[in-house]
Amino acid sequence: MHSPRDASSLAVTRILFGLAMLFDIPDERGGASMDRRWGDPRTCHFPLLPTVHALPMPYMALVYAAMWIGAAGLMLGWCFRRCSITFAACYWYLLLVEKSYWNNHSYLFGLVALLLVKSNANCYWSLDAYFDRRQRSTTVPFWNYFVLKYQFFILYFVAGLKKGTAEWLTGYSLPNLGEHWVFTPFKLFLSVSQIDYLVVHWFAFLFDLTVVFWLSWPRTRRVATVFCAAFHLMNIRLFRIGMFPWVCLATLPLYYPYDWPKRVLKKVQIVYNKFLKREVDCDGNEDATADNNSDDESIPKLPTDEKDDDEKSEAQNQSESEEKGETEDALEKCATKKKRTVYFIILYMALQAFLPYSHFLTKGYNNWTSGLYGYSWDMMVHTWETNSVVVRVVDNDRQTQFFLDPYIWTPNERWTRHGDMVYQYAQCIKRNLLQLNEELNFNDQLSTNMSIYIDVWCSMNGRFQQRMFDPKVDLLRASWSPFEAVDWLMPLLSDATSLRGTLDEIREEVHGWSNHSDVIFVADFPGYELENYLPEDLTNVTLSVLGGRVAYQPEVDNHHGQSFVLHADDHMLVAPGTFHKVMNVGRDPAYYMYTFINGTEAMSPREVKPATYLPITKEFARRLAGMRTFFQLVLQSIFQLFFRLPVSIMNV
């Protein structure tokens, strides 16, 4: 682990990773939108640890500024240790204070930052090495490379293991992705469904599972690099996943010889010298040979090299004498330090292999899938479709209730699929409502004795839409623990999984009626009811029961509360622009569907814009605009914080 390896490849990785983080901070870390993300004190945040809280906006801007400076120092190798620690500390603070923005690559970036903190990545091609000879070195310990390569091995290999499930291998995780233009070459000999099944799902499964082995074998390394580069470049166009593909591309050279940058530079220099010599010869310069000889002589700088050799030999002799003078205690301390490093590496390896499968401990973060998305490496394995979210607030003292916009105080919709975040959101709603009561001084004061019920309807991987959490549970009085299962989580109706093939056939048939026809599949538990409102722009709305027994009750004002009991294969026309209820009155789960035609889309056909295949200029301009906005927000916050200037003046 401590044997020397050439430092040039690690230096390139450090530079590219730092550069990627400079663009990641304004984009995925939210630096260009920090005023919206952190500016409103009523915005509900979802920290991983209850003791970690978001700072007010001007101070959060300082956190972003410190993180950006840290990333710049990491890239340049300037005050490397301090800048790396600053970047890693600020980065992990942002992750811990808001887990609703977590992605797998977010967790990866934080881990790479921690690994670079303890590495010697600044000993070569860095400002530290340029200004301080003591930090200059052409080699680094082998473990500097090993831990980084192991981290990306875990990234790929565990992602492949996570894809080895029926959900992925049957093609339900990423449906209809084959329609994207990046798969145009495959459309010459495969249909869209075949691309979804064979290329998107099976090839991705085999790729993640084996790519590191192909990269590590010299005979297949170059071919694997081409496939890996194509894979990540396609992901750049398929998904909005920030700098993750670029970081993966930047770390591909880690699997090549450690001195590959020097080899490349040497070849470039040889080509340049040949080109320069050819150019001089073509000019017919009589002194070309002499000039070339003088240039060749000036390149090696023999006197300087001899002087450097003398200095190196003196330094070597001095170091040897110092080593001889070291005591046995000092040598033992050095050996102990090296052993501790190896033990730490072994512990880190075991931890990274264990965390993706540690969900039997952190049961409170499990839902229909295991664990938080941020550290499981289950990339794209589950596709979620949220149909509706209902937030109901009940004043128990006054016996009144009202409904809230579910996204009024939330930064995104990720919270709707995680029990821990739903629990945190209920607490935040209560806090905001009571604070508004005090500030606005309403005549009808909302009592502190309130209850909050949240009803979330989701579909996972093409299944029926079903409620995810028990809407009858008061979340303000519910219990939640990170080490106990969420008892108010409704189970996934796995019995209906076998019906997904039937759903695909029905969906294809309904979509064939017209360009604006659609279908929604719903499943519900015995003893529960769905209160639904259909917009007026929907036409030919039909409720069809696929299984179980339900009671359909139209809007009370029009039908005097009359109910209709429907069994399997029964149909009922539903009037748009009205409320209705569908109650499961059987003993088993009920399955039904709505088929309809969207009248608004039929009246105003959607304009199809030509696809921009490689918008490199547009993408680069967007990132530069985000960087500019980021700097403006940081400067505004600094002036506001230190000079007490209002934001309006700064905007002017």
Distance CA 479, CA 474 (A): 10
pLDDT value of position 448: 87
Q: What is the mean pLDDT of residues 102-106?
A: 84
Q: Is the pLDDT of residue 308 over 90?
A: no
Q: Is 238 exposed, middle or buried (0-12, 13-18, 19+ CB in 10 A)?
A: middle
C-alpha atoms less than 13 angstroms from C-alpha of 425 in its C-beta half-sphere: 30
Q: pTM of the prediction?
A: 0.86
Helices (H) and strands (E) in the chain, counts: 22, 14
Q: What is the model's pLDDT at position 115? A: 94
Report the distance separating Cα 242 and Cα 622, nearest Å: 12
Is residue 295 predicted with pLDDT exceeding 60?
Answer: no
Please report the pLDDT score of residue 650 as a whole number.
43
Question: Does 291 have pLDDT greater than 80?
Answer: no
Q: Which residues are catalytic?
A: 163
> Would you place residue 302 in the very low, low, confident or very high pLDDT band (cuts 50, 70, 90)?
very low
Indicate whether 646 pLDDT > 90. Answer: no
Domain boundaries, the chain: 383-492, 495-602
**pLDDT grade for 201, boundaries at 50, 70 and 90:** very high
Q: What is the mean pLDDT of residues 160-179?
A: 90
pLDDT digits (tens, 9 = 90+) for 181-198: 899 899 999 999 999 999
Amino acid symbol at 457: W
Q: CB under 8 Å to 461, separation ≥6 — which residues? A: 167, 172, 173, 382, 383
DSSP character for 78? S
Determine the pLDDT at residue 325: 55
- Rounded Cα distance, 142 and 338, in Å: 12
The rounded mean pLDDT for the chain is 86
Reduced to 3 DSSP states, what percent helix, strand and coil does the chain have, rounded to the nearest 5?
A: 55, 15, 30
Lowest average pLDDT, out of 28-42, 427-441, 551-565, 625-639, goes to: 551-565
Rounded to an integer, the average pLDDT of 265-269 is: 90
| pLDDT > 70? residue 320 | no
CATH architecture of 495-602: Sandwich (2.60)
Residue 281: per-residue pLDDT: 61
For range 285-310, the mean pLDDT? 44
Q: What is the 3-state secondary structure (H, E, C) of 91-110?
A: HHHHHHHCHHHCCHHHHHHH
pLDDT exceeds 50 at position 296: no
What is the average pLDDT across 583-596?
93
State yes or no: pLDDT of 605 exceeds 60. no
Give 335-343 contacts, CB < 8 A, sequence gap 24+: 338/1, 338/2, 341/1, 341/2, 341/143, 342/1, 342/143
CA distance 555 to 542: 16
The helix (run of H) or strand (run of E) holding residue 572 is strand 571-573
